[in-house]
Structure 1
Amino acid sequence: MFSYRHAFHAGNHADVLKHLTLIATLRHLMQKEGGLTLVDTHAGAGLYRLDSDFSETGGEAKDGILKLLAIKPDGDWPEALRDYMELVAGFNPDGRMRIYPGSPFVMQRLMREQARDKLKLFEMHPTDSKVLAANIAQLQAGRQIAVARQDGFEGLKAFLPPPPSASGSRRALVLIDPSYEIKSDYPKVGTCIQDSLKRFATGSYLVWYPVIPRPEAHELPRRLKTLANQAGKPWLHATLNIGRAPGTESHGLSASGMFLVNPPFTLKAQLQAALPTLVTLLGRGTGQAWAVESSS
């Protein structure tokens, strides 16, 4: 159950899609003054060394963030992609890409102290949970950030609906991205979204999932569409496939997806601009594709 370590995959193409989408969503939500409750149900270690044994073993960042940095951003890149690149570069001020921020630190970097945004992090892996707690402790963020070694699917329930902010508003963004190492993760995600929408129907829910030849993986976005439609909530579904280089057809992940319930109305256009560029920059063989669909 605890064999999955995100450090093996940090900075890969799936992280690029996930974090680009997360940043664009947060930028929109933070245009309003009211505070946000941010929840990461499967937080991992928070920060990753790309020169560590874990990262070098898989080398997946070479087909993700490292490939993008080798090309270097220019003014013609879509805004959402440039924003993502600038945030990641901020963790490596000397210009050498050693540190990749996981979702907890992506969210922390965008949090507003004045708005009193709160971040709740859940991680069950015994090693990663300790590393996460140590990484967060260095921020000296006090009560603004809480870390718990707990099942995020269950722990999330205590924060929905979120507590009111200083202005009285209740707003929340929830990121759900388990390892999907076991098949039960797929139905758990659907159950979690269904329960969350009952508890707090106006929250923004982001689900990452791998696009792999497994029935559960193909059923998940269909299930999420049904749940969103039944709740009368808008949704957006984006996928990125960088293709497979010759000789690697049976190895590694080549595609992943993001499903959002209550997405920003600005996000569809941002992803439609960014994903074709990502396919061009990261594409490595047959099967390259991208798609963005929504309920409106």
Structure 2
Amino acid sequence: MNYRHAFHAGNVADCMKHALLVWLLRALAAKEKPFRVLDTHAGIGRYDLSAGEAERTGEWRRGIGRLLDVADGPLADYVALVREAGAPTAYPGSPALVRALLRPQDHLLACELHPEDVATLRALFRRDPQVAVHHRDGWEALKALTPFPERRGLVLVDPPFEQEGEFDRMAGGIALVSHRFRAAVQACWYPIKHRSPVRAFHTALRESGVRDLVAAELWLREPTDPGRLNGCGLLVANPPWRFEAEGGAILAALLARLGDGEPGQGWAMTRIAEE
């Protein structure tokens, strides 16, 4: 509970995760039937990029700060939503992006464990009938809040990875939701510092028997330093049609804008388990 995302809002990891999240939500909205989103580690929903935390690290300048002039191509939808939310003064967290894309028949469940952050999140969505904010552990919410009554939707898992065992918890959570709620799209963010933990995570998923898994990854330098965030991934279970092709275009566009030409940078869209 020491992690505070305000220091990192709008960074490269946020851009990658949220650009793909926007695409996934658009894909869900392509069908008229209602859907629900569960955001297990929601944060405060909106971040002031001029505040001390964001200014102290300046991470947003290398992230969303390099994308704000994008007007077309694979990133245009995401960047337009971020500008509408107030960038470069403010950056929308995942709950705000989700809320911007909900139709009248859709709903958001946002979970946050940090007491100050959940209070801020509740204030943001006060009297919003389409959003329910829960002060609860996100891992516990996977069992408590699934399956959805709508029988379709997205589960976003984005833990801070400040504790040991997060990869194991994530693999277990994916298997749990897949068993309880096969129709759900799951999008699970993870850091890439070096390859060994990521390979073990992917192996655990293959051995779990969960089907239809794709890993979208972006790295800005060779992932060999365990003490440095060199890239990140989004593991997607039950991805919508064309996610691999169109998500790959998003990753390529992000690398073109955010990469500095360091050795070993790249992106990949890898199928971990077949349908």
Cα distance, 1:195 vs structure 2: 1.2
What do the CA deviations read for 1:41-68 (whole angstroms, capped 9, x no partner)? Answer: 0001110011111111111111110011
Structure 2 length-normalised TM = 0.92
Equivalent pairs counted in the alignment come to: 270
Cα distance, 1:290 vs structure 2: 0.6
Q: Distance in 1 between matches of 2:45 and 2:251?
A: 25
User: Secondary structure at 1:210's aligned position in 2?
Assistant: strand
Q: Counterparts in 2 of 1:155-234, with a 5 A limit?
A: 155-164=141-150, 170-213=151-194, 215-227=196-208, 230-231=209-210, 233-234=211-212
Give the alignment partner of residue 83 of structure 2, picking from 65, 69, 89.
89
Computed over aligned residues only, the root mean square deviation of the Cα atoms, in angstroms, reads: 1.9
1:61 has 2:56 as partner: no
Give the alignment partner of residue 259 of structure 1, picking from 230, 235, 238.
235
Instruction: Specify the alignment match of 2:220 in structure 1.
Output: 242
Q: Distance in 2 between matches of 1:61 and 1:286?
A: 22
Q: Distance in 2 between matches of 1:106 and 1:159?
A: 21
Q: Counterparts in 2 of 1:115-134, with a 5 A limit?
A: 116-134=105-123
Cα distance, 1:211 vs structure 2: 0.2
User: Secondary structure at 2:125's aligned position in 1?
Assistant: helix
Q: Distance in 2 between matches of 1:222 and 1:100?
A: 35
User: Secondary structure at 1:56's aligned position in 2?
Assistant: helix
Cα distance, 1:251 vs structure 2: 7.0
The one-letter code sitting in structure 1 at the alignment partner of 2:17 is K
User: Secondary structure at 2:38's aligned position in 1?
Assistant: strand
Q: Distance in 2 between matches of 1:111 and 1:74?
A: 22
1:29 has 2:28 as partner: yes
1:293 has 2:270 as partner: yes
Contact 2:193 2:227 in 1 (8 A): no
User: Secondary structure at 1:293's aligned position in 2?
Assistant: strand
Q: Distance in 2 between matches of 1:213 and 1:267?
A: 25
Cα distance, 1:214 vs structure 2: 7.4
Contact 1:183 1:216 in 2 (8 A): no
Runs of 4+ in 1 over 6 A off after TM superposition: none
Cα distance, 1:33 vs structure 2: 1.2
Cα 1:74/1:210, change in 2 over 3 Å: same
Q: Distance in 2 between matches of 1:155 and 1:251?
A: 30
1:270 has 2:269 as partner: no
Q: Which runs of 5+ in 2 are unaligned?
A: none
User: Secondary structure at 1:44's aligned position in 2?
Assistant: coil
Q: Distance in 1 between matches of 2:17 and 2:245?
A: 16
User: Secondary structure at 2:24's aligned position in 1?
Assistant: helix
Q: Distance in 1 between matches of 2:244 and 2:38?
A: 23
Select between 31-40 and 282-291 the one with higher mean Cα deviation.
282-291
- Aligned residues: percent identity? 37
The one-letter code sitting in structure 1 at the alignment partner of 2:132 is A
